Structure 1
C-alpha cells in the first residue's frame, strides 16, 4: 500500500499545488508543504521528516472512514504493507487507521506516474519498457510475499523515479471493495487494467496482478490500453471475452505481453519467468539501468518534482519523528535470476524548506519525565503538557524566580517587605557574615534565631528548632491545621529482569511476577498480560493497565512510572516492530514489552515475538482499576 498520487504533468508550480482553504495545515503532527493531487480515495499532501526526507501523506475521504468494514480492511492492509520494504515500492512509514479520517504516509517519490509520462511524452522505448516491467515484477514479488494482492495495478499507480519504477497504492483497492460507496458513484480502480476474473467477480489471486502487468507493458510500449477505451461495460466485456489488440506492441515485447494476458490465471508466467523474459528480450544478457534509462523529457519531469516548494508561512512545529522500522529482508526470487537493476540513490531534497521539517521537541531538564510525543499520538486524547513540542515561555533574566513552597504549603504571595525591617535585615546580614568568619555557621544560626524571636517573626516556613537545617521533605507545616509532608522513600529501584524472544500465542497470557516469564494458556481470567484471540493485548488484572509508548520514546522504568495514557487493551494492528508497551500489574510489578516480530502469514498459529523487561514491586499494589 502507498499513499502517493501524482497530479497533472507540468512545472514544479503545477506539481506542488498550494494548500486551499479546505486543506489542513497539519496531519497528526506532519506539517503539510503542498498538495500533490487527489483521487477517488482522498487527497495526497507533501510533508517532510526532521532529517529532510520528503513524505507523501494520503488522507482517506471521510465517507470511507464512516464504513466499519472499510476501516477493518484498511487497518489489515496497512499492517501488511508496513512489512513491504522492496527496492521498487514506496514504503509505508506511518498511518492512522482509527482517526476521524484515516491516513497513511509513505516515502515521497520524485517522479511522474507512467500515465502522466505517456500522455505528455508518448510511448516509452523498448529498453525502458523492459527495465520498467522487470522493476515492477520485483515490486510484485515483495508485495505478494507480504500476503497482499495489489488489485489495482495500472499506469497511474507506477511512478518513474531516477533509479527505477515505484509501485504504489497496493492493498487500497481491497479496502475500498468493502464499502458500499464503490457502488454509488465513487469509482475505485480503472476497468481498462482489470483481469478477467476481477471483471467477472471471481476469486482474485497474485496472478491477477500479472495480467495487469501485461496491460501496463502494452500501454507503456504503445500509449493505448490493450483492450481499448470506452465505457466501463464495453472494456470489461472485451477483457473477459475478446483477445487484446497487440498490433502496436514491438516484437521484442510480444511474448512477454501475450503470456501475461492469458485468460487462464494458471497459464500466466511467474515473477521469475517475467524477469527472465525481460532479460532474453534485452540485447544484454543482464539488465542494467543506465543513468538515462528514461527519455530526456521524462527525466526533466523528475527534476521538476525534486525541487522543494517554498513555504508561505511556517505552521507550528509538531513533536519528534518516529523511529524508522527495520527493513524487511531483501528480494530473492525463487528461481535464481540476475538483478534487473543496479540502482543509484534517488535524487531527493537534502533538507526541507524553512518552516517544514518537524523540529525536535523541547526536552525538560529534570528527570523523570516522559519522552516527547511523536509525530502522531495513537490515542485521541490530547498530549500531556510536559510532552508538548513548544518551549515554555522564559522569564526575564532580570526577574528573580519565586522560591518554591515547601511540601504541603501553597506558594506564598509575592510582596514587598515592610520598610521598617529593611535596615534591620541589612544589619543582620552583616552580622552573619562577621560571625561566620570568626565562629562558624553554628553561632550565626543561633544569632539569626534569636533575632527572629525578638522581632516576633511569624513567617509561613520556619527552620526547625534542631541544631542543623533539615531537608524540605522532613519539615513540618507552619501555622495551625498543617500536616507533615510525607517522607521520601529511600528504597532503591528494583533490578530489571529481562526475558528475550517470548512467542506469545493468541489465547495465551504472561504473568510478570513469575521467575521465568513464559506463555500460559488462557486469555480471560484476570491475567496481567494476555493476547486475546480478538486481536488485541489485554491487561485484565485488578488495577492493571498498559500504555503504548510513542515511536522514538525511550522505554525505561522512569518513563513507565511517569506515563498516564492508560489503556486496558491495545490492538495488535497498531503495533509494529520496535514498538514498546508499559504494563503495570495490580500486584505492583512494572513491565516493558518490546515487539520484535509477528507470525508469518502462512504460520498455523498467530503469535507475537516479544522482549519483556520486568521491575518487580516497582509500584504500590492496587486494589482497584
Structure 2
C-alpha cells in the first residue's frame, strides 16, 4: 500500500470515503491496498497521523478480528525510536481502524527506484536503525513477517519500520487462502517460503535482503517470477556483487539456517564496527535529493493542516460510539509508505471526486512535477519496469439514464417488429393451408421466438493475466496483453480502474458460487452490470463478460496486489469464446 503524492502532496478524499472516523476528521487519502485504506488526519494538537481503515472482507472474518485485537495490544507496547507508535484504534466497530503518527518521507523502495542505491554510510545507518526497530518489535512478542523496502520509511532523523501491527492478523485470516497473502516472495526467508515456522530470525533474513536492495539497487536473489525467486532463496547462495565492501557482513543475515543468523542487537554492533566513524543519526544521513523530497512532504503536510475546514453539510447521522484508547506520544512515523503517482480522478456519473482543500490534491494542468516525483517526462519504459508510473484514467462513465431510455425505445421497436413478424407468419400459414407454397428459411427459430445461437466456439484459456490499474485487455488478442488506456471507447473488453473491473460493452454478469462457469451459463444469464468492484470479489469469483464484437469471456478473479506492493493490479484467469454471439452496436 502506498502513501503520498507528487511533490509531497496528497490525494483528495473520494466520494465513497468517510469524512471522519471517530473523532478524527479525514483530510486526505494517503493510499489503499489489499488490507484497507490509509488517510491523513491530525491529532487535536495538530500532529499529523496516518489512520488506516480495514477492508470489509477482513472485518467480517472472526479470526482476523481476534488476531487484530492481539496485534494492536502488542503494537501499543512498541515505542521504539525507529517504529510507528500506535496513537488510537478501534477493534470492535463495524470497520476496525488503527492510527499511528505520520512520517513525511519516501519509502526505501521509492527512494531507490527514483535516486538509485544509497551510499555505504547511509546503508549502515539504515541497517542499524532498522535492526534496532526489530529488537523493539521482537521484544513485544511480534514477528514482522513482511519486512521489505516499501515497509521502511526514510525520515530526516532515521528509518521507520511500519506495518508490523497487523501482519500476523492477516496471516491468520481465511482470505490468505483466497488471494490476500502476507509476505513478499523476494524478501521471504527460506523457512517462510517453505511454509515452516516463522521466527524473529526470519525478519533478520528479510533485513539482509533490505540491506542488499539499499546498497546495490536489487535484492540478493534477483528478480523474475515469484516461484523462480523463491527457488533461489531456498537453494542458491545470495548474489551480493556491487555491495560495498564494508557491508560484507550482510551475508551472515542471509544464512539458510536461522540459527546461524545474527540477532538484531549483533547487527547494530556489526554496523558500528564497519563504520570508520561512530554512527550518529542526523538530518544529513541521506543523499541531498532524498532530503529534498522529505522537505517537500513536510511543507505539503503543513499546508494541508492550515487549510480551512469544510462547512458542515448538516447534522451528522447518529452512530454508535467507538472505543478510543488514550493517545500515545506522537512521533514522526507513519503506517504506510508513499505511493506511486496517480492520475487525477475524473468526474463521472456516480464517481464525483472531492474538491481538494488548498495545499493538496491533483495539480492543475499544465503541471511540471517537482524533481523526483510524478510520471516520467521521456518515453515510458515497458510495462512493469518503472515503479510508480501510472497510466491516464479511463474516460468518464456514460450517463446510465440515456442508456435506459435507449433500451425502452429499443423494446418498443422490438415489439412492433415482432408483431409484424407474427402477421407475416400467420399469412404464410394461411397460404400453406390453402395449398400455397412457402419458402424455406436459412435460420431456424427456437423456443421463445429468438434466433438459434451460434455454434459453440472452442474456448481458449489464459492463466494469471495481471491487469494494472488504468489498463485494459482485448479478448481478440492472443494472448491478451495489458494495454494502457489511450482514449478509445471501443475494444476495451476488460479494464481495471479505481477498484472496478468493467467493460466498454457494459455487459458483465457476476456469477453465484453455485453456477457453472460455462458458455451456456454466460449465454443464459442476463443480469448485466457495467462493472463490479473489488469489494464484491474474492479469489475464485467468476464473471461473464460479453463484448460488442461478439466475444464472451469467463473471468476468474484470483487476487489483487499485495499490501504495500508499489504496483496496483489484479490477477485474473481468462477463458475466451471468440465470436460466440452476434456483434452488437451501442
CA 9–223 in structure 1, closer or farther in 2 if over 3 Å, else same: farther
Retained in 1: the 8 A contact 2:2–2:33? no
Retained in 1: the 8 A contact 2:132–2:264? yes
Q: Matches of 2:76 and 2:45 in 1, distance apart? A: 21
TM-superposed CA distance for 1:297, in Å, is 1.1
1:11 matched to which residue of 2?
A: 7
CA 311–159 in structure 1, closer or farther in 2 if over 3 Å, else same: farther
* DSSP-derived class of the 2:197 partner: coil
Q: Is 1:313 the counterpart of 2:316 in the alignment?
A: no
Normalising to structure 1: TM-score of the pair? 0.50
Q: How does 1:400-549 map to 2 (within 5 A)?
A: none
Post-superposition Cα deviations, 1:365-412, rounded to whole Å, max 9, x if no partner, equal xxxxxxxxxxxxxxxxxxxxxxxxxxxxxxxxxxxxxxxxxxxxxxxx
Q: Matches of 1:292 and 1:102 in 2, distance apart? A: 38
* DSSP-derived class of the 2:6 partner: coil
Q: Matches of 1:8 and 1:244 in 2, distance apart? A: 33
TM-superposed CA distance for 1:89, in Å, is 0.5
Equivalent position to 2:282, from 276, 290, 311:
290
CA 108–273 in structure 1, closer or farther in 2 if over 3 Å, else same: same
Specify every segment of 5 or more residues in structure 2 that has no aligned partner in the other structure, as ranges.
335-355, 360-586
Higher relative contact order (CA 8 A, sep 6+): 2
Q: Matches of 2:211 and 2:62 in 1, distance apart? A: 36
2:56 matched to which residue of 1?
A: 62
1:181 matched to which residue of 2?
A: 175
1:301 matched to which residue of 2?
A: 293
Post-superposition Cα deviations, 1:146-183, rounded to whole Å, max 9, x if no partner, equal 00000011111111001111101004221111122222
TM-superposed CA distance for 1:127, in Å, is 0.4
1:126 matched to which residue of 2?
A: 120
Retained in 2: the 8 A contact 1:31–1:47? yes
Normalising to structure 2: TM-score of the pair? 0.53
CA 203–11 in structure 1, closer or farther in 2 if over 3 Å, else same: same
Q: Matches of 2:104 and 2:144 in 1, distance apart? A: 22
CA 166–347 in structure 1, closer or farther in 2 if over 3 Å, else same: closer
CA 144–322 in structure 1, closer or farther in 2 if over 3 Å, else same: closer
Q: Matches of 2:184 and 2:151 in 1, distance apart? A: 11
Equivalent position to 1:258, from 251, 255, 280:
251
* DSSP-derived class of the 1:177 partner: helix
Q: Is 1:164 the counterpart of 2:167 in the alignment?
A: no
Q: Matches of 1:96 and 1:62 in 2, distance apart? A: 14
* DSSP-derived class of the 2:14 partner: coil
CA 101–355 in structure 1, closer or farther in 2 if over 3 Å, else same: farther
TM-superposed CA distance for 1:28, in Å, is 1.5
Specify every segment of 5 or more residues in structure 1 that has no aligned partner in the other structure, as ranges.
328-344, 357-625
Equivalent position to 1:26, from 20, 35, 56:
20
Retained in 2: the 8 A contact 1:9–1:116? no
Post-superposition Cα deviations, 1:220-250, rounded to whole Å, max 9, x if no partner, equal 0111111111222111111111111111211
Q: Matches of 1:314 and 1:224 in 2, distance apart? A: 49
Q: How does 1:96-135 map to 2 (within 5 A)?
A: 96-135=90-129
TM-superposed CA distance for 1:324, in Å, is 3.1
What count of residue pairs does the alignment treat as equivalent? 327
Retained in 2: the 8 A contact 1:10–1:301? no
* DSSP-derived class of the 2:41 partner: strand
Which of 1 and 2 has greater Rg?
Answer: 1
CA 315–251 in structure 1, closer or farther in 2 if over 3 Å, else same: farther
CA 278–176 in structure 1, closer or farther in 2 if over 3 Å, else same: same
CA 355–11 in structure 1, closer or farther in 2 if over 3 Å, else same: closer
Q: How does 1:180-219 map to 2 (within 5 A)?
A: 180-219=174-213
* DSSP-derived class of the 1:56 partner: strand
Q: Is 1:274 the counterpart of 2:237 in the alignment?
A: no
CA RMSD of aligned residues (A): 2.7
TM-superposed CA distance for 1:263, in Å, is 0.6
Retained in 2: the 8 A contact 1:151–1:171? no
Q: Is 1:137 the counterpart of 2:134 in the alignment?
A: no
2:481 matched to which residue of 1?
A: none
Q: Matches of 1:55 and 1:137 in 2, distance apart? A: 24
Q: Matches of 1:288 and 1:167 in 2, distance apart? A: 18
Q: Matches of 2:23 and 2:67 in 1, distance apart? A: 25
* DSSP-derived class of the 2:105 partner: coil
